[in-house]
Structure 1
Amino acid sequence: MSAVTAYREWHRALRTFKLSADLHPCDWCGDWAARWCYDGSRATAEQGSGAFVFVEDSSAYMPLCDSCAGTFTAARRRLSYAELADAVPELARAARDNVSAFTRADVLIDTAKRREYAAAAQMTRLGKAPQAAIRATDALLRHAYSN
């Protein structure tokens, strides 16, 4: 299996383990996340190469929005892992300062609803959730989004 194929397969599995990144707030700024980013903390277990480096450990991934992911990737390319670990807190603080507290609060409230719905939908696809639970979750979401 090529490095690119293995990378894609792992990210598909990661979405199964942790659900899609867009169901989580960005770890840095608090806005909606767009992708799972490898945090560089498991250098000895890395697989792949270049832009397709990954580890098979879901705890080594953080949800980031596109803007924060771009900042993180640029920093990862120019810094060693030790330097990156020192730079991340400041980069995250700067990202957080660019997003309003209102936006972060709105995302946090919405996150629970999205995750509940996605988990119920995933369980239904696996044939493990009763349809009544899906209907109840769907009704809650419709009510929440109608306000």
Structure 2
Amino acid sequence: MFFKEFIVVLALATVLYNGVHADHCAYVATKDCAFIPDRQQVCGTNQQSYRNSCFLAKAYCADNTIHKAHDGPCAVTTTPSPVHGSEVALDIFCLDLIYISCPTGGVQICGNDGKFYENVCEFDKARCFHRDLKDDGTNCV
């Protein structure tokens, strides 16, 4: 199972989406959310409780108007503003991506932090820890 997921992550890490980012929803579609150990329910903005963030990410990928309202079942409100569904999908993607070694080579990406990243895989790994990181394309030295 790990090897299959590694290949999927590796393949997705090399695919460009909107010119820069891997398509996180394509990756989330491959996940079997029932086997993710996270059992903390989350509430969607559609007022449906999801077993974990993975199931919510799948819901967002099927309907991009669904976001995370708060942690816990929908009967309890603890977070004042929703978390965008794309962030939840990125979280699921990053859970696996951070544990793989990126391939060498590829097209360098210039981040808005002024650094060059060797390829889209390394860029997406950095985005897992710095969510405001974007492809700048012009300000790297």
Q: TM-score, normalised by structure 1?
A: 0.28
Structure holding more helix per residue? 1
